[in-house]
Structure 1
Amino acid sequence: MLKSDTVEHILHDEKTTVAVIGSGFSGLSAAAYLAKAGCSVHVYEKNNEIGGRSRQLVGNGYTFDMGPSWYWMPEVFENFFNDFGYKASDFYELEQLDPGFTVVFGKKDVLHIPADYAALEALFESIEPGSARQLTLFLEEAAFKYRTGMNKLVHKPGLSLLEFADWDLIRGAFKLQVFTSFSKHVRRFFKDERLITLMEFPVLFLGAMPEDTPALYSLMNYAGLKLGTWYPKGGFGKVIEGMQKVCEAQGVVFHTNSAVSSFRVTGKHVKTIGTKYSESKCDGVIASADYHHVEEQLLDEAYRNYDTAYWTKRVMAPSSLIFYLGVTSRIEKLEHHTLFFDADLKLHASEIYKNPKWPTKPLFYVCCPSKSDNTVAPLGHENLFILMPLAPGIEDTEALRKEYFNLIMDRLEDYTGVPIRTALDFNESYCAKDFKADYNSFKGNAYGLANTLMQTAHLKPSIKNKKIKNLFYAGQLTVPGPGVPPSIISGKVSAELLIQYLNHK
Structure 2
Amino acid sequence: MKTSISIIGSGFSSLAASCYLAQAGYEVTVFEKNKTIGGRARQLIKNGFTFDMGPTWYWMPDVFERFFNDFDKSPSNYYKLEKLNPAYSVYFGRNDFITIEDTLEKIYATFEKEEPGSSKKLETFIDIAKSNYDVAIKDLVYNPGISAMELVTPATIKKINQFFSTIKKDVRKEFKNERLIKILEFPVLFLGAKPSNTPSFYSFMNYADFGLGTFHPKKGMYQVILAMESLAKELGVTIKTNENVEKIMVENGKATGIVSNGIIYNSDVVLSGADYHHSEKLLEKPFRQYSNDYWNKKTFAPSSLLFYVGFDKTLINVNHHTLFFDVDFDVHAASIYDHPKWPKNPLFYASFPSKTDASLAPKGKEAGIFLIPLAPGLEDTPELRAIYFEKIISRFETLTSQNVKNHILFEESFCINDFIKDYNSYKGNAYGMANTLWQTAFLRPKLKSKKVKNLFFTGQLTVPGPGVPPSLISGKLVADLILKHTLNNL
Same fold (TM over 0.5): yes
Q: Residue 152 of structure 1: SS of its match in structure 2? A: helix
Is the aligned partner of 1:143 residue 2:127? no
Is the aligned partner of 1:168 residue 2:155? yes
Letter in 2 for 1:49: T
Is the aligned partner of 1:239 residue 2:221? no
CA apart distance, 1:277: 4.9
Q: Which residue of 1 aligns with 2:269?
A: 284
Runs of 4 or more, structure 1, over 6 Å off, are none
Is the aligned partner of 1:359 residue 2:343? yes
Q: Which residue of 2 aligns with 1:91?
A: 78
Q: Cα deviation per residue 1:225-262 (whole Å; 9 max; x = unaligned)?
A: 11001110100110100000000000000010101111
Q: Which residue of 2 aligns with 1:334?
A: 318
Q: Cα deviation per residue 1:343-373 (whole Å; 9 max; x = unaligned)?
A: 0011111111111111011100000000000
Q: Distance in 1 between matches of 2:142 and 2:16?
A: 14
TM-score (norm 2): 0.98
Q: Distance in 1 between matches of 2:240 and 2:290?
A: 29
Q: Distance in 2 between matches of 1:94 and 1:274?
A: 39
Q: Is the 8 A contact 1:204 1:349 kept in 2?
A: no
Q: Distance in 2 between matches of 1:164 and 1:212?
A: 19
Q: Which residue of 1 aligns with 2:27?
A: 40
Q: Which residue of 1 aligns with 2:113?
A: 126
Q: Cα deviation per residue 1:393-414 (whole Å; 9 max; x = unaligned)?
A: 1110000000000000101112
Aligned counterpart in structure 2 of residue 374 of structure 1, from 330, 349, 358 = 358
Q: Distance in 2 between matches of 1:134 and 1:46?
A: 49
Is the aligned partner of 1:25 residue 2:9? no
Aligned counterpart in structure 1 of residue 213 of structure 2, from 225, 228, 233 = 228
Q: Is the 8 A contact 2:103 2:210 kept in 1?
A: no
RMSD (CA atoms): 1.0
Is the aligned partner of 1:72 residue 2:59? yes
What is the aligned length? 489
CA apart distance, 1:159: 1.0
CA apart distance, 1:484: 0.1
CA apart distance, 1:289: 0.2
Q: Is the 8 A contact 1:60 1:426 kept in 2?
A: no
Letter in 2 for 1:442: Y
Q: Which residue of 2 aligns with 1:436?
A: 420
Q: Distance in 1 between matches of 2:424 and 2:29?
A: 20
Q: Distance in 1 between matches of 2:287 and 2:434?
A: 25
Q: Residue 339 of structure 1: SS of its match in structure 2? A: strand
Q: Is the 8 A contact 2:57 2:215 kept in 1?
A: yes
Q: Residue 335 of structure 1: SS of its match in structure 2? A: coil
Aligned counterpart in structure 1 of residue 36 of structure 2, from 38, 49, 52 = 49
With 369-378 and 150-159 compared, the bigger mean Cα shift is at: 150-159
CA apart distance, 1:420: 1.8
Q: Is the 8 A contact 1:435 1:446 kept in 2?
A: yes
Q: Is the 8 A contact 2:22 2:232 kept in 1?
A: yes
Q: Which residue of 2 aligns with 1:7?
A: none
Extract unaligned runs of 5+ from structure 2: none
Q: Residue 40 of structure 2: SS of its match in structure 1? A: helix
Q: Distance in 1 between matches of 2:13 and 2:250?
A: 24
Letter in 2 for 1:246: L
Q: Which residue of 2 aligns with 1:303?
A: 287
Letter in 2 for 1:164: L
With 376-385 and 207-216 compared, the bigger mean Cα shift is at: 207-216
Check 1:203–1:164 CA distance in 2 against 1; reply closer, same or farther (3 A cut).
closer
Q: Is the 8 A contact 1:205 1:318 kept in 2?
A: no
Q: Residue 280 of structure 1: SS of its match in structure 2? A: strand
Q: Is the 8 A contact 1:209 1:350 kept in 2?
A: no
Check 1:165–1:127 CA distance in 2 against 1; reply closer, same or farther (3 A cut).
closer
Aligned counterpart in structure 2 of residue 390 of structure 1, from 362, 365, 374 = 374
**Paired-residue identity, %:** 49
Q: Residue 32 of structure 1: SS of its match in structure 2? A: helix
Q: Which residue of 2 aligns with 1:208?
A: 193
Please list, as runs of the form range in 1=range in 2, the aligned pairs for 1:391-410 lying within 5 A after superposition. 391-410=375-394
Q: Is the 8 A contact 2:95 2:401 kept in 1?
A: no
Is the aligned partner of 1:499 residue 2:483? yes
Letter in 1 for 2:110: L
Letter in 1 for 2:49: Y
Q: Is the 8 A contact 1:464 1:473 kept in 2?
A: yes
Is the aligned partner of 1:182 residue 2:182? no
Extract unaligned runs of 5+ from structure 1: 1-13
